[in-house]
Amino acid sequence: MLDQIDLTKVMVLDVETVPQRKSYSELEDSWKALWEKKMKFKIPEDKTGGDVYDQAGIYAEFGKIICISCGVFTKDGIFRIKSFYGDDEKILLEEFSEMLNNNLNSDDNYLCAHNGKEFDYPYIARRCIINGLKIPAILDNSGKKPWEIKNLDTMDMWKFGDYKSYTSLILLAGALGIKSPKDDIDGSDVWRIYWEENDLMRIVKYCQKDIVTVAQILLKFKGLELLKDDDIIFADEDADNENENAETETQE
The ranges assigned to domains in the chain are 7-251
Backbone angles phi, psi at 251, to 5 degrees: -65, -35
Amino acid, single-letter form, for residue 246:
A
SS3 93: helix
Class of domain 7-251 (CATH, top level): alpha beta
91/36 Cα distance (integer angstroms): 30
Task: Per residue of the chain (252 residues), give pLDDT as tens.
Answer: 788 899 999 999 999 999 999 999 999 999 999 999 999 999 988 899 999 999 999 999 999 999 999 999 999 999 999 999 999 999 999 999 999 999 988 888 999 999 999 999 999 999 999 999 999 999 998 888 877 787 999 999 999 988 777 899 999 999 999 988 777 788 889 999 999 999 999 999 999 999 999 999 999 999 999 999 999 999 865 444 444 443 444 344
